[in-house]
Amino acid sequence: MPESITPIILPGEKEICLRQPDGNDIRGFFRDTGNGPVGIYLHGFRSHCNGEKALQLARHAISMDRSWLRFDLRGHGRSDGELKDQIISSGLSDLLRVIDWVGDRPLILHGSSMGSWISLLAAMRRKPRIEGMMLTAPAFNYVQNNLSTLPEQIKQKWQLETYMSFPDAYGEEPYSLRYDIMQDAEQYDVINTNISIDVPLHIVHGENDPIIPIAYTDQFIRHAQLAELVFERIPNGDHRLMDHIPLIISHIDNIWQEIYK
């Protein structure tokens, strides 16, 4: 069920509600100028599109008179579904649903944490539409690098019980995940496979990120073929990077200016 979050609708935004095949609705907000490129922001795990970072980015897009869309994945924020039932495939399906709903407009994707991983996966599946990407603290291969390394005894118990509870990194309520998220994630390896991205890609990652080590991004860059990469390492930067939103915005502006001179 959707969380009891009071939505903040910014000037010019309209609420969107898209039905998925499982009957659950995806909810979000779209500020549409009527033509030209559309920026799509995808939040991270256990976050939502009414968070402070999402709102600051949307406000800036509006101030620049850009089309901008922000939405909640199923199991997050005001969208339907339970968090415990979501896997990488479901998140990817949600973003592809939104991309296809927008139509044939060119897109710039901006993902945060898990949203970065999903945005990259979506870009690989909608290449003709994607003209640029901005990824913040990307959680590439997070499931493989963390959950799959659990002790076998723990994984066997998890498999028997289907769901298992995990502590929250920020001291909030524990959350549950279903066992098959690990098998599902195996098909979305972006570090040990040949990835080719031929559009401008900007990545910002904190060097002191305790949740998603910057080594994930280093590994991705070493293996991927990236035509136009800008990678900024933030000294002493944490995972959420709330103190660095102006820097993130400057990268987004640079992408738009580079593509739409």
Six-digit token string for 39: 């920026």
> Which helix (DSSP H) or strand (DSSP E) does residue 18 occupy?
strand 13-19
- Residue whose structure tokens are 């390394």: 149
- Nearest Cα neighbor of 201 from 234, 233, 245, 231 is 231
**For position 95, what pLDDT does the model report?**
99
Query: What's the count of helices (H) and strands (E) in the chain, helices before strands?
Result: 8, 10
Structure tokens at 128: 């003709």
CA distance 232 to 136: 10
**pLDDT, position 1:** 45
pLDDT at 149: 84
Strands 25-31 vs 107-112: parallel, antiparallel or unpaired:
unpaired
- Mean local confidence (pLDDT), 9-28: 98
Segment 122-126 mean pLDDT: 97
- Which DSSP string do the residues of 9-73 spell out, in sequence order? PPTTEEEEEEE-TTSPEEEEEEE--SSS-EEEEE--TT--TTSHHHHHHHHHHHHTT-EEEEEPP
- 157 DSSP assignment: H
Q: Left (φ > 0), alpha (ψ -120 to 50) or beta: where does 75 sit?
A: left
Q: Which domains does the chain have, with CATH numbers?
A: 13-140+194-259 (3.40.50.1820)
Please give the Cα distance from 209 to 171 (Å, whole number). Answer: 16
Pick from 16, 18, 21, 23: nearest CA to 1:
23
* pLDDT tens-digit readout, 79-106: 999 999 999 999 999 999 999 999 999 9
Is the pLDDT at 169 greater than 90? The verdict is: no
State if pTM tops 0.85.
Answer: yes
Average confidence score pLDDT of the chain: 96
Position 83: which residue type? L
Q: Which of 82, 96, 87, 111 is nearest to 18 (CA)?
A: 96
Q: Residue 127: in which H helix or E strand, if any?
A: none
Kindly list the distances between the CA atom of residue 113 and the CA atoms of 108, 130, 141, in Å, as whole numbers in the listed order: 16, 19, 11
